[in-house]
Structure 1
Amino acid sequence: MKGEFLVTNLIDELKKGESELVEVKKDNSDPEMIVETISAISNSACINEAARGYMIWGLEDATFNVVGTSFFPGKKKFHNQEVNSWLSTHLTPRIYFRWLCSE
């Protein structure tokens, strides 16, 4: 429930205009792209003195309509590692991240 409330609030904010702290993706599951995007969001958060940034899967980029996603990080492997492990070792400096899933 907490994740759903957060996502709903973020979508409402996105509809007001672009944000450097929030990135939306429909299905992109490329770990290297995820590392680059997390790094960019982290840099933006630092510059804007924000505590956090967000990546949201399952939204259309232009409309922010919820369309669902086929990307589930707990089921994805990259180079024979779980995505979380691979991302943790490729984010430098170390950046805290976590996944919240919503139905």
Structure 2
Amino acid sequence: MLSILRDLPYRMAALQFERAVEGMEVWSANSDDYSFAISFFKSFTGPGFHGKPGYVASWRPLYGGRGAIKITGSPFKSFEEAEVACDAMLKHLVGD
């Protein structure tokens, strides 16, 4: 499914991720009253985030104080796959 999403026209207006925390592998982007984050998990032990290795994508509304919701398919093998999943979730959330 992700390979299909990569070619859709809405990818032209994709979320623009920026590093959110210096020295950590965390990126964030905001659009249409939603916040998205991608974090890189290296392993279950050692320094950094712990969990199944890969890129974990999540979203939450910008307002309202709700916690983040992990995007189905996380962790992803690449940053690009996580980014595509975030774009697809934004498209779903805004109903286009």
Q: Report the TM range for the smaller structure's normalisation.
A: under 0.3
User: Which structure dedicates a bigger proportion of its chain to helix?
Assistant: 1
Q: Which of the two has greater strand per residue?
A: 2
